[in-house]
Amino acid sequence: MFPIITLIGQKNVGKSTLFNKLTHTHDALISNYPGLTRDRQYGYFQCKQFKSILIDTGSIDKPYHSINTEDIQNYITHQTISAIKEADIILFLMDRQSIATSVNYDIANFLKKLKKPIFMVINKVDDIEYHIHNIMWDYYSFGIKNVIFISAIHGNGINNLLENISLLISKNISSYENNISRTNLNETIHKNYITSSSYNKKNNPTNITLAVVGRPNSGKSTFINYILRKDRMITCNTPGTTRNCIHIPIIYNKQKYTLIDTAGVRKRKKIDNIAEKISISKTLQIIKTAHILLFMGDVDLGISDQDLYLLRFIVNNGNALIIIFNKWDKISLDLRYKTKEALYKKINFINFRKIHFISALHGEGIKTLFQSIKETHLHSCFTKTISTTRLINILHKAISKFPPPLLYGKKIKPKYIHVGKHNPLTLIIHGNHVTKLPNSYKRYLKKYFYRMLNITGVLLNIQFKDAINPFINK
């Protein structure tokens, strides 16, 4: 049974910086832009001799919410209050330069009514000794006796914070361990919420990471929530609601997965704030590392230029791809065939793809989607066993079936092929003048390898390198 510790506070007080510091990860986005965190972020951290669960939350500017409105702050507050209810210990962060505000007093009064242990953590303090001896009394007006000064970015005061938390845990550890409801909550958090890059690699090597990517408001978070059967992610009609990349472990048909909800990606020229730039940068990093990418499009809106931009980036940088068109329930039965044909035509540049039409809101098509995910993963694993001999045989068959065109009367001769790397799968063809092959012939070779290797869903790149003639001086 792990104690649950929740970080709360107003915008830009350093919650995410402290989360990363304590969990030794970079899972929480940090910047000088206020309000970057929105969804809850879970992680493990070692508090002296005790392993604990830490929750990062979005900003809170009032200790209540009205989920019936479309104000994004109400959704964030709802998420934060859910994390407060789960907590055994609350870390109430403040910025030393903006402490005595009415909002902070309102939050403090709300927290005291919960009868939970509270640490008032004053962040961005460089001269801790000065504050302890000269300004400490200023903070007691909040009615919270545990006041600790830190600098999350520099690490000052962190050890003192951990010692105080550890002392509190040691006094209450028996009540944590004997509380069945807390144990069940721990199991739920571990199963459905927590993952981090370091924890995942060390303890869950068999996890298949599924990154859900797409334009803003295509239904990515709704899809995650349906699979989890709970409102884990904030969903509303405001585009760009998700900002951080949230990792969530699940088990589906006895297979371990880590679902990654990502921020929606738009073209750079349409991005007008630093928060979105940071979020998109994180999404593009995830695209390069996830095992399988689930591209989610809005079937009602069709394929836009920004969808094509993202798909081309995925094809060039991703490992495996499944295309999902969401909101299929909105398309009438008599229009579905024409809709599919129009969408297929737009993405015909992606070879041997898997396409699914689903309704994330109602769960239509989710079961068959996961069947494709399993098949794609098997194909991806298979590529790691392909021998050079087999690749050479396939290359020779392709050439004999359809020889390359002549280049100024001379033959272009692809001679040798091997795997350059696996993530993404890259084949390198060597030979005479192979870099001069027409694009049409390069596409032919790519399709031929896809067909002969039977690796539907796996993204394949082929590079061409000319053989060096040793008899010609450079």
- Residue-wise pLDDT for 6-56, tens only, equals 999 888 888 888 998 898 877 654 444 444 455 678 888 888 888 888 988
Residues 6 or more apart from 456 whose CB is under 8 A from it? 352, 353, 354, 375, 376, 379, 450
Q: Give tens-digit pLDDT for 92-118.
A: 998 887 777 788 888 889 899 988 999
- Reported pTM: 0.65
Q: Which pairing describes strands 208-214 and 292-298: parallel, antiparallel, or unpaired? A: parallel
What secondary structure does DSSP assign to 317-367, as a single string? H-SBEEEEEE-GGGS-GGGHHHHHHHHHHHTTTS-S-EEEE-BTTTTBTHH
Confidence (pLDDT) at 196:
47
Q: Give tens-digit pLDDT for 49-76.
A: 888 889 888 777 666 554 444 555 566 7
Q: Which residues are annotated as a binding site for GTP?
A: 9-16, 123-126, 214-221, 261-265, 326-329
Confidence (pLDDT) at 141:
80
pLDDT at 333 over 50: yes
Cβ(358)–Cβ(325) below 8 Å: yes
Give the burial class of 103: count Cβ atoms within 10 A of its Cβ; 0-12 exposed, 13-18 middle, 19 or more buried. Answer: middle
Confidence (pLDDT) at 446:
95
Where in the chain are the domains?
4-191, 204-383, 388-466
**4-191 and 204-383 share one CATH topology?**
yes
Which listed CATH number (3.30.300.20, 3.40.50.300, 3.40.50.1370, 3.90.1150.10) goes with 388-466?
A: 3.30.300.20
- The pair of three-digit structure tokens given for residue 456, joined into one six-digit string: 């539907």
Averaged pLDDT of the chain: 82
Q: Which residues are annotated as a binding site?
A: 9-16, 123-126, 214-221, 261-265, 326-329
Q: Give tens-digit pLDDT for 363-401.
A: 899 999 999 999 999 999 999 999 999 999 999 999 999
Confidence (pLDDT) at 274:
58
Mean pLDDT of 329-343: 92
Mean pLDDT of 212-220: 86
Give 376 or 407, the one with higher predicted confidence: 376
- CATH number assigned to the domain covering 4-191: 3.40.50.300
- CATH number assigned to the domain covering 204-383: 3.40.50.300
pLDDT at 197 over 70: no
Q: Give tens-digit pLDDT for 107-161.
A: 889 899 988 999 999 998 888 887 777 777 677 788 888 999 999 888 899 999 9
